[in-house]
Amino acid sequence: MKKVEKNEFDVVIIGGGPAGLSAALWCDDLGLSSMLLEKEKEFGGQLLWTYNAIENHLGITAKNGREMSEIFLQQTEKRNFSRHLTAGVEKVNLAEKTISLTHGEEFSGKFIILATGVRRRKLNIPGEDFFRGRGIIESGKKDADKIENKNVVIVGGGDAALENALILSEKAKKVYLVHRRDEFRGRKEFIEKVEKNGRVEILLETELVEIKGDEAIRSVRTKNRKSGEMRDLQIEAVLLRIGIEPNTELFRGQIDLDKNGYIEIDSSCRTSIANVFAVGDAANPTAPTISSAVGMGATAVKQISAYL
Ligand code: NDP
């Protein structure tokens, strides 16, 4: 009989947001040993950077994502599954079902569940990294007080950029809304409100090319994509809302991903590799919600338990 190593589990779950936590809970319920790996210092995933109230997850409401995460953690705290924070994954071999962490530890599972979620897309322009937390704000809802009577630039053309323009216009002296195309992709209702808002100046077909300043942001440079004209705007804060992208680089070349990098799955959350499942937003580009993530965790583990 094969010797069972300490770091060998029925199921190893990568990612400790709602989908991964739900999968771990279900593993306990169905008697499967599992290890939940999370690269950050705390579980919660995207909930930790969700600042609006959550009122559409059946059975629980919360004033923000962090509060909801705490409710999830209270429920899972005493459950019987192994967990590991600051577990940055360096390498995964999905065919072999082995996972190596950056600090050297190794894990293997009969099954692997990928629950790595999504992250905010970056612009990759000069100043973006330096001014993060020094003038690049995280959220209109959370940081509205910081921009009281200041000039702020928002980049993006979707619902998030438009909604934040409306929120910040209530406190800011002026909001510039910079979008790369000649039309927004967000909701009609938001577009109409933004267009009528006297404190929002819309700059279409425009890119943000640099964020400048010293210890604080002093200005940004924009470029008109049609005329090539450069403009410096005197502003003190920046909010980037240019969408999200999946955390799936580790799996590229091993598993089927769609053209945007999302993991392709079937209705049981099975991926293109045997005994590898994917749950949550990294595998759900069309309906990324907390409820779907939690449901996908349950679906995958029920399926795995049937195999075992
Ligand atoms: P979206 O993907 O909807 O929009 C991203 C925007 O950023 C697009 O306008 C896109 O431009 C632009 N963009 C992407 N990459 C770049 C880049 N490199 N440089 C410049 N601009 C770029 O993301 P959101 O975060 O707005 O929304 C995500 C989801 O959340 C959506 O489903 C949205 O409906 C939902 N949401 C709903 C809200 C609500 O209903 N209250 C509030 C917030 C979000 P282009 O259009 O040219 O592709």
> What is the best residue among 55, 154, 180 to mutate for testing ligand 1's pocket, by most ligand atoms within 8 Å of CB?
180
Sign for the CA dihedral angle at 143, 290, 255, 27 comes to positive
Strand 98-101 relative to strand 106-114, pairing: antiparallel
pLDDT in tens, the chain (308 residues): 444 456 999 999 999 999 999 999 999 999 999 999 999 999 999 999 999 899 999 999 999 999 999 999 999 999 999 999 999 999 999 999 999 999 999 999 999 999 999 999 999 999 999 999 999 999 998 998 999 999 999 999 999 999 999 999 999 999 999 999 999 999 999 999 999 999 999 999 999 999 999 999 999 999 999 999 999 999 999 999 999 999 999 999 999 999 999 999 999 999 999 999 999 999 999 999 999 999 999 999 999 999 98
243 lines ligand 1 (CB under 6 A): yes
- What residue type is 237 in one-letter code? A
Angstrom CA distances, 40 to 85, 233, 235, stand at 6, 36, 32
**Cα angle for residues 29, 58, 163 (degrees, 5° grid):** 130
Closest-lying ligand 1 atom to the alpha carbon of residue 179 = 21
pLDDT at site 5: 59
Which pTM value belongs to this model? 0.91
Tell me which residue has its CA closest to atom 37 in ligand 1.
159
> In which residue ranges of the chain is CATH 3.50.50.60 found?
6-120+244-307, 140-240
Residue 112: exposure state from Cβ atoms within 10 A (0-12, 13-18, ≥19): buried
Helix, coil or strand: residue 206: strand
> What is the best residue among 141, 159, 284 to mutate for testing ligand 1's pocket, by most ligand atoms within 8 Å of CB?
159
Contact residues for 18 (Cβ-Cβ < 8 A; gap 6+): 45, 47, 72, 280, 290, 293, 294, 297
Is 157 in contact with 186 (CB distance < 8 Å)?
Answer: yes
Closest-lying ligand 1 atom to the alpha carbon of residue 162 = 26
181 lines ligand 1 (CB under 6 A): yes
Distance, CA of 85 to CA of 303 (rounded, Å): 26
> What spacing in Å lies between the alpha carbon of 150 and ligand 1's midpoint?
24
pLDDT at site 2: 47
> What spacing in Å lies between the alpha carbon of 239 and ligand 1's midpoint?
13
Q: What does DSSP assign to residue 157? A: S
The CATH class, in words, for 6-120+244-307 is alpha beta
Q: Within its chain, how far is the Cα of 301 from the centroid?
A: 23
Is 86 in contact with 39 (CB distance < 8 Å)?
Answer: yes
Closest-lying ligand 1 atom to the alpha carbon of residue 185 = 46
**What is the three-state SS of 13-69?**
EECCCHHHHHHHHHHHHCCCCEEEECCCCCCCHHHHHCCCCEEEECCEEECCHHHHH
Decide if domain 140-240 falls under CATH 3.50.50.60: yes
103 closest CA partner among 117, 80, 84, 78? 84
Helix (H) / strand (E) containing 246: strand 244-246
Question: What would the DSSP string read from start to end of 96-132?
Answer: TTEEEETTS-EEEEEEEEE---EEE-----TTTTTTB
